[in-house]
């Protein structure tokens, strides 16, 4: 595995002005609150957590669809948060996104070949006949036929539409693909087909993925390294084996306890978290997880945990490991 970073996220924050109460004084929403991580070239970094934890907002900042409030995002060594629009446009083809909902992310009025060709036209790449050849090649790469190119998105199943979305993302030879809940709308058997396709394409084209999902079993299947987010914070990050075989943060343990084991002889106890995810406009003091943590201590209610190194490849933010700072 290559350990050369393609993406370096440093102290990234996104704070939205809360527009909910018409008459009440609005509180800012800390959607992403000071997170740092790297994605190495050719690897899949999985970002996992409950809905509303800030993982999709993080993906959108990496795509330059949202401006961060603070922090930096280095892509290939260049800070994209400081780039002007012209420089961003020239870099944009290097990072592409595959969206959660294959039904909504494809223009229903365009034929599939036009959908796949569109990014090539936007970036002014290739002649018309070269683009046509490329579209045929891409349809083939994602397991569809040339004839499929003449049809409209509504004529396809969910899995086929996600294949079209992937072909479209691949058209401009990106370095990074951000897949945001890319398989969560699909049946389990179709999910594994798409995940296997993504793995095969990664090998073939040397792709780097940021794979965002709420389902830890999906993230486990595809990721080389995993970051666990809770209430806008990254609470644990490490290589896949450390996170799955030896999780340290109580929240990661709870998420893992909900993943079914496909072995009838092995049982594990489900950790049921009490209460709801607190509002990011009113996060608890101290550790953000302390209102739901099964092993909360007094210190957790007032002091924010700092990073503790479990190993070179495994870091956690939790007071249980304070001696390992
Ligand atoms: Fe639980 Fe305390 Fe660790 Fe937070 S810091 S996860 S409340 S033990």
Residue 69, helix vs strand vs coil: coil
**pLDDT at site 263:** 61
Total tally of structural domains belonging to the chain: 1
296 lines ligand 1 (CB under 6 A): yes
Cβ of 271 less than 6 Å from ligand 1: no
pLDDT tens sequence for the chain (325 residues): 568 999 999 999 999 986 655 556 668 899 999 999 999 999 999 999 998 899 999 999 999 999 999 999 999 999 999 988 888 888 888 999 998 876 788 899 999 999 999 999 999 999 999 999 999 999 999 999 999 999 999 999 999 999 999 999 999 999 999 999 999 888 888 999 999 999 999 999 999 999 999 999 999 999 999 999 999 999 999 999 999 999 999 999 999 998 876 666 666 778 888 888 898 888 999 999 999 999 999 999 999 999 999 999 999 999 999 976 6
Whole domain around residue 258: which residue ranges? 5-324
Q: By alpha-carbon position, which residue is closest to atom 3 of ligand 1?
A: 318
CB 225 within 8 A of CB 238: yes
Phi, psi (rounded to 5 degrees) for 283: -70, 150
User: How many angstroms separate the CA atoms of 170 and 240, rounded?
Assistant: 26
Among 305, 316, 323, the mutation site with the greatest number of ligand 1 atoms within 8 A of its Cβ is 305
Tokens of 199: 């793995």
- Using the mean position of ligand 1's atoms as its centre, give its distance from the Cα of residue 35 in Å: 18
- The CA 294 to ligand 1 mean position distance, Å, reads 8
pLDDT of residue 316: 98
> What's the N-to-C CA distance of the chain in angstroms?
27
| Structure token digits, residue 11 | 């102290």
Q: Which helix (H) or strand (E) holds 32?
A: strand 28-40
CATH number of the CATH domain containing 113: 3.40.50.300
Nearest to residue 165, comparing CAs of 218, 118, 219? 118
pLDDT given for residue 237 in this prediction: 98
Answer whether 305 contacts ligand 1 (Cβ < 6 A). yes
Please report the pLDDT score of residue 276 as a whole number. Answer: 82
Positive or negative CA dihedral for 314, 244, 191, 137?
Answer: positive
DSSP states of 231-281: TTEEEEEEEHHHHHHS--SHHHHHHHHTSPPS-TT------PPPSPPPPTT
Q: Is the CB of 300 under 6 A from ligand 1?
A: yes
Total-model pTM: 0.92
Give the pLDDT confidence score for residue 23 in this predicted structure. Answer: 59
Question: In 115-247, which ranges are E strands?
Answer: 176-180, 208-213, 225-230, 233-239
Q: 248, 273, 301, 320: which to mutate for ligand 1, most atoms within 8 A of CB? A: 320
227 alpha carbon, distance to own chain's centre: 9
Residue 168 has a pLDDT of: 94
Q: Is the CB of 287 under 6 A from ligand 1?
A: yes
CA dihedral 2, 4, 9, 10 (to 10 degrees): 130
Residues 303 and 319 sit within 8 Å (Cβ to Cβ) = yes
Q: Is the CB of 292 under 6 A from ligand 1?
A: no
Residues 6 or more apart whose CB falls under 8 angstroms from that of 145 comprise 139
């Amino acid at each position: 595995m290559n350990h050369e970073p393609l993406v370096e996220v440093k102290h990234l924050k996104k704070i939205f002005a809360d527009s909910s109460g018409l008459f009440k004084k609005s509180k800012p929403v800390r959607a992403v609150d000071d997170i740092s991580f790297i994605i190495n070239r050719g690897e899949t970094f999985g970002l996992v957590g409950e809905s509303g934890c800030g993982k999709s907002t993080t993906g959108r900042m990496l795509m330059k669809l949202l401006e961060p409030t603070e922090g930096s995002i280095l892509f290939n060594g260049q800070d994209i948060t400081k780039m002007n629009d012209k420089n961003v446009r020239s870099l944009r083809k290097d990072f592409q996104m595959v969206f959660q909902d294959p039904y909504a992310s494809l223009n229903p009025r365009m034929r599939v070949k036009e959908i796949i060709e569109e990014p090539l036209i936007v970036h002014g790449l290739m002649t018309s006949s070269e683009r046509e050849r490329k579209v045929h090649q891409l349809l083939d790469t994602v397991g569809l036929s040339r004839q499929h190119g003449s049809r409209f998105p509504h004529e396809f199943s969910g899995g086929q539409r996600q294949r079209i979305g992937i072909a479209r993302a691949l058209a401009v030879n990106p370095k990074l693909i951000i897949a945001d809940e890319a398989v969560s709308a699909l049946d389990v058997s179709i999910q594994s087909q798409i995940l296997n396709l993504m793995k095969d394409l990664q090998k073939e084209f040397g792709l780097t993925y940021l794979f965002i999902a709420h389902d830890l079993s999906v993230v486990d299947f595809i990721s080389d390294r995993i970051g666990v987010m809770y209430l806008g914070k990254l609470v644990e990050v490490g290589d896949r084996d450390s996170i799955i075989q030896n999780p340290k943060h109580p929240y990661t343990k709870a998420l893992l306890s909900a993943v079914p084991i496909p072995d009838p002889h092995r049982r594990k106890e489900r950790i049921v978290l009490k209460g709801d995810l607190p509002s990011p406009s009113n996060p608890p003091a101290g550790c953000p997880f302390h209102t739901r943590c099964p092993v909360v201590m007094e210190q957790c209610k007032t002091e924010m945990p700092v990073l503790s190194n479990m190993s070179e490849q495994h870091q956690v933010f939790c007071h249980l490991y304070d001696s390992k700072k």
